[in-house]
Amino acid sequence: MKASTYSKFMSTLSNRNANEKWPLTLKALWFDAKNDWHAAHDIVDGGHDQMSKWVHAYLHRKEGDEWNAGYWYRQAGKPFPEVSLQEEHQQLVEFMLADLD
């Protein structure tokens, strides 16, 4: 997949499985977009890299657990976002897709 479009990523939601070539963090965001928060969380829970921590933060923010989200944003070295959850999801996806080029 070209790293250019979020809409291409979203069009994969009708697929049965996430792209096997994607990093785990992108797969987590795919599950999140399919409304499977638990599968997404299971993927990043315990991840020690910055992207796992950022996605973990986003997921707890989406869950409504701002305290836990704040902890994970700090671990990821990111400020607590002032954008919508959808905007943050798009930022995360586009950031990861750009790394795949």
> What residues contact 96, with CB distance under 8 A and at least 6 apart?
22, 23, 25, 26, 29, 51
Q: Tokens representing 10?
A: 């979203």
Query: Identity (one letter) of the amino acid at 5?
Result: T
**Residue 77 belongs to some domain of the structure:** yes
pTM for this model (two decimals)? 0.92
**Residue 15 belongs to some domain of the structure:** no
Domain total in the chain: 1
**Residue 67 belongs to some domain of the structure:** yes
**Residue 84 belongs to some domain of the structure:** yes
**Residue 2 belongs to some domain of the structure:** no
pLDDT single digits (tens) 69-94:
999 999 999 999 999 999 999 999 99
The parent domain of residue 35 ranges over 21-100
- Pick from 11, 22, 24: which is nearest to 54 by CA? 24
**Residue 59 belongs to some domain of the structure:** yes
pLDDT single digits (tens) 19-72:
999 999 999 999 999 999 999 999 999 899 999 999 999 999 999 999 999 999
**Residue 27 belongs to some domain of the structure:** yes
**Residue 13 belongs to some domain of the structure:** no
